[in-house]
Amino acid sequence: MNASTAEDSTNYFYSFPENRIELWFLLESERFLHPVFREFYKERDVVREERRMRVESSPQGKLVEALLATAFEAHPYRVMPGGWASDIDNFREPEAEQFYRKYYTPGNITIGIAGDVNPAEAKRMAEKYFGRIPKGPTPPMVRTVEPKQEGEKRVAVETPRNRFWRLRINVRRSTVRTMPRWMC
Q: How many residues does the chain have?
A: 184
Distance CA 108, CA 26 (A): 18
pLDDT at 43 over 90: yes
Whole-number Å distance between alpha carbons of 172 and 179: 11
Contact by Cβ (8 Å): 1, 12: yes
Dist. CA 145–CA 94, nearest whole Å: 29
Tell me which residue of 56, 28, 20 sits closest to 130, measured CA to CA.
Answer: 28
Does residue 182 surpass a pLDDT of 50? no
* Structural domain harbouring 35: 2-183
CATH of the domain at 152: 3.30.830.10
What is the average pLDDT across 51-56? 95
| Cβ atoms < 10 Å from Cβ of 136 | 13
Cα dihedral 115, 121, 124, 130, rounded to 10, equals -30
Q: How far is CA 99 from CA 89, 103, 172, in A?
A: 16, 6, 29
Report the range of poorest mean pLDDT among 2-16, 22-36, 64-78.
2-16
CA nearest to 110, candidates 7, 28, 18, 15: 28
Tens digits of per-residue pLDDT, 114-136? 998 999 999 999 999 999 999 88
Give the pLDDT band (50/70/90) at residue 18: confident
CA angle 95, 96, 102 (to 5 degrees): 90
pLDDT at 172: 59
Yes or no: say if 71 and 169 are a contact pair by the CB < 8 Å rule: no
**Over the stretch 67-79, which tens digit does the pLDDT of each residue have?**
999 999 999 999 9
Based on the structure, what is the number of domains in the chain?
1
